[in-house]
Structure 1
Amino acid sequence: MDKISTYDYLLQHQVKPSVQRLAVMDYLRKHKTHPTADDIYVHLLKEIPTLSKTTVYNTLRLLVEHGAARMLTIDERNVCFDAMVEPHAHFFCTTCGRVYDLPTDEVSVAQVDSLPGGHKVAEVDLYYRGTCGHCLGADLKN
């Protein structure tokens, strides 16, 4: 994904590039921290003072609808976003709240088209919950 420009990436996903859409998508591509809409808004407001929170939410919704980003609901309190749309798993640290990507070569993300009972699979989300290595390291030092 990083090999093409954000402008071309939006065009590939049939999203008409605008200053705001480019800024939101570029932020997602550069910050692989699974930011919330509020995180994105606060950061981009410094660069685009006229940006509204509604524009950020609408842009994220549009990016998700066009497959340019994914919406993650790992934590019941927050919805975060991910620019990596290829199959992969996530690890949610219940201590610090950070979300980590787990590449498919490290975890198996099932690729199934259908399930017993005639169910058709549209997508698979795999989430792990626990304590991240950073927090475990901090616990060991205390």
Structure 2
Amino acid sequence: MSVARQTRQREVIVQVLQGAEGPLSAPELLARAQATLPGLGSATVYRTLKLMQEQGEAHAVHLDGEPLYESTGRGHHHHFSCNSCGRVFSLDSCPVALPTGTVYPGGFVVEGHEVTLYGRCPACVAAG
């Protein structure tokens, strides 16, 4: 495999992650990337995701099932998981005003938080 081909594969994977409306599973990422590079294989996607995580370019989001991946640099945000279609979306606003350093009763000091909202996405609501 040539370096140029590997670079193109990684470029497509990065573009798919950055253009996604929310975090993607590795199979979802593969399917979307294959629209541009039909010969792309799952092993390449997993290797690239691992490398991107090691380099701080992507991170895993853990919900109820398999890990989902998104590019870093999106700032503080949360997720919405559709109970009907299973898609996960990134939410730009934070529904919880919980600053770092908040101390909860018992001495728990908040260093960060993650929120996932569950329900139906607009497309599923419109479909009935």
TM-score, normalised to structure 2's length? 0.71
RMSD of aligned C-alpha atoms? 2.8
> What is the distance in 1 between the residues matched to 2:60 and 2:100?
21
| Matching residue's letter, 1:126 | V
Matched, 1:95 2:79: no
| Counterpart pick for 1:66 among 33, 44, 55 | 55
TM-score, normalised to structure 1's length? 0.66
> What is the distance in 2 between the residues matched to 1:61 and 1:109?
32
The DSSP-based 3-state class of the residue aligned with 2:45 is: helix
Counting matched residue pairs gives 119
> What is the distance in 1 between the residues matched to 2:99 and 2:53?
20
State the identity as a percent: 24
> What is the distance in 1 between the residues matched to 2:7 and 2:101?
35
1:101 Cα offset (Å): 1.5
The DSSP-based 3-state class of the residue aligned with 2:118 is: strand
Aligned match of 2:70: 82
Matched, 1:112 2:112: no
The DSSP-based 3-state class of the residue aligned with 2:90 is: strand
> What is the distance in 2 between the residues matched to 1:96 and 1:46?
21
Consecutive aligned runs of 4 or more in structure 1 exceeding 6 Å deviation: none
> What is the distance in 1 between the residues matched to 2:98 and 2:81?
19
The DSSP-based 3-state class of the residue aligned with 1:101 is: strand
Aligned match of 1:25: 14
Q: Contact 1:91 / 1:130 at 8 angstroms: preserved in 2?
A: yes
1:95–1:49 Cα change, 3 Å: closer
Unmatched runs of 5 consecutive residues or more in structure 2: 1-5
Aligned match of 1:40: 29
> What is the distance in 2 between the residues matched to 1:120 and 1:33?
25
Matched, 1:51 2:40: yes
Q: Contact 1:89 / 1:109 at 8 angstroms: preserved in 2?
A: no
The DSSP-based 3-state class of the residue aligned with 2:80 is: strand
1:43 Cα offset (Å): 3.1
